[in-house]
Amino acid sequence: MLKYLIICVCIVSFASEPISPIPKTVEYNKAKALLGKKLFYDTLLSKNNTISCVTCHNLRSGGADSRKVSRGVDGRLGNIQAPTVYNARYNFKQFWNGRAANLKEQAEGPLKNPNELGMSPQLIEKRLNASKTYKKLFYQVYHSSRITFNEAIDAIVEFEKALITPNAKFDRYLRGETTLNSDEQEGYRLFKQYGCITCHNGINIGGNSFQEMGTFFSYHTNASYPDRADVLKNKKYHNVFKVPTLRNIALTSPYFHDGSAKTLLKAVKAVSHYNLGIEMPLDDAQKIVAFLKTLTGEKPKIVKNP
Ligand code: HEC
Ligand code: HEC
C-alpha cells in the first residue's frame, strides 16, 4: 500500500512541474538499432568515404558539433551549427527551421546535402549492396536480398530512437530520488520566474514550439541560414526557429543556430537580452547555469557498449 502511495505521490509531484523526466528506458527494435548504429558511424555513407553522421554529431559528448558550423565532404562549410541528436525523438519537428516533420524525413537531408554527406539514394544502395557484411546484416534484419535506401534510413531512425539520455540529476530530482543544491534550486526557480519556461518546457525543455530569436530586441546575424520565414515563404517569421532542447546543454557549446555564444553563461545573458528584454544580473545568470548543468543525462547503453 505504502509503495502505491509513494508512486502516486511521485507522479503527482512531477505532473505539476512544467518539465517532465525522460523515461529510464524506451522501446525500440534492437536489431534494427544496432544496424543503424553501424551506419551512423560509417564513412561509407559519404561521397568520398571521409565522414559519417558521428563526425558532426559527437555521441561521446553532447551529440552535437563543437564547431561553429560543420564541415561536410571535401571540407565544404555548412551554414548552421549542428544541434544534438540526443533526445531528438522528442522534438515535434526536426531541424532549426522545422522543415522535416520527423526523423525519417530528417535523415534523408544530410545524406543528400552536397555540403554534408553528398550522396544519392542510388549511390547508397550501390555501396551497401557491394558490401558482404551489410548484405548479411540487412538480410538478418529485413529479410530482403537487395538492400534499399529506405531500409538504411529505417535502421538509422531506429538507432536515433534509442538515443535518449535518462537519469539527469534534474530528472532524478523530479522523481524524488535526489535533491538539488541551493544554487541549482534557485536557478530552477529563476528559470521559471524569468519566463524561460514559457519557451523551454516539456520533456525536452524545448523542441515543442517555434519562437522568434529576438522577441524583444531584434537579433542580427551574418548566418545565411533559411529561417521559418523561408520555409513558410512569409516574412512575418523572420528569425523564427524551433526552440532548441536544453537537455545536455552543458555539453553542446557553441550555442544558437549561428554558434555565436561560446559559453553557457554568454548564451543565457544573450537570450535574456533578446528574448526577455532584460540585462540579467550576473549572479542570477550563474544560478541558471548551475540549474542547466543538472540537465546532463546518462549516455544510453547502445552508445556506451562497443
Ligand atoms: C557535415 C555535418 C553533418 C553530418 C555529416 C550529419 N549532420 Fe545531422 N545535422 C547537421 C547540421 C548542421 C544540422 C542542423 C541543420 C538544420 O537545422 O538545418 C543537423 C541536424 C540533424 C538533426 C536534427 C536535430 C534537431 O534538433 O533538429 C538530426 C536528427 C540529425 N542531424 C541526424 C543526422 C544523421 C542521422 C546523420 C547521418 C545520416 C547526420 N545527421 C549527418 C550536421 C551534420
Ligand atoms: C520567447 C521564447 C524564449 C524564451 C523566453 C527563452 N528562450 Fe532560450 N531560446 C529560444 C530560441 C528560439 C532559441 C534558439 C535561438 C537561436 O539559435 O537563434 C533559444 C536558445 C537558447 C539557448 C541555446 C541553445 C542551443 O542549443 O544553442 C539557451 C542556453 C537558452 N535558450 C536558454 C534560455 C534561458 C536560460 C532563458 C531564460 C533566461 C531562455 N532561454 C528564454 C527561445 C526562448
146-198 tens-digit pLDDT: 999 999 999 999 999 999 999 999 999 999 999 999 999 999 999 999 999 99
Ligand 1 binding pocket includes 153 (Cβ within 6 Å) = no
Q: Name residue 119's amino acid.
A: M
- Residue 193 in contact with residue 234, Cβ under 8 Å? no
The rounded distance, in Å, linking the Cα atoms of 139 and 27 is 22
Q: How far is the CA of 297 from the centre of ligand 1 (A)?
A: 20
Exposed, middle or buried by CB within 10 Å (0-12, 13-18, 19+), for 60? Answer: exposed
The rounded distance, in Å, linking the Cα atoms of 267 and 286 is 11
The rounded distance, in Å, linking the Cα atoms of 267 and 265 is 5
Cα distances from 278 to residues 198, 201, 219, 303, in angstroms, run 16, 20, 14, 40
What cell does 4 get? 502505491
- Split at pLDDT 50, 70, 90, the class of 84 is very high
The rounded distance, in Å, linking the Cα atoms of 26 and 28 is 7
Is 2 a residue whose pLDDT tops 50? no
The rounded distance, in Å, linking the Cα atoms of 117 and 150 is 17
Ligand 2 binding pocket includes 131 (Cβ within 6 Å) = no
Q: How far is the CA of 244 from the centre of ligand 2 (A)?
A: 7
The rounded distance, in Å, linking the Cα atoms of 2 and 15 is 20
pLDDT for 69? 85
Give the lowest-confidence range in 48-57, 167-176, 220-229, 241-250. 220-229
Question: Among 245, 255, 241, which Cα is nearest to 213's?
Answer: 241
| Cα 73-74-75 angle, rounded to 5 deg | 90
- Residue 77 in contact with residue 255, Cβ under 8 Å? no
The rounded distance, in Å, linking the Cα atoms of 274 and 282 is 16
Ligand 2 binding pocket includes 213 (Cβ within 6 Å) = yes
The rounded distance, in Å, linking the Cα atoms of 261 and 277 is 18
- Average pLDDT for 200-217: 96
Q: Name residue 58's amino acid.
A: N
Q: How far is the CA of 136 from the centre of ligand 2 (A)?
A: 45
* Omega within 30 of 0 (cis) for the link into 254: yes
The rounded distance, in Å, linking the Cα atoms of 205 and 272 is 16
- Average pLDDT for 206-224: 91
Is 3 a residue whose pLDDT tops 70? no
Alpha-carbon Rg for the chain in angstroms: 20
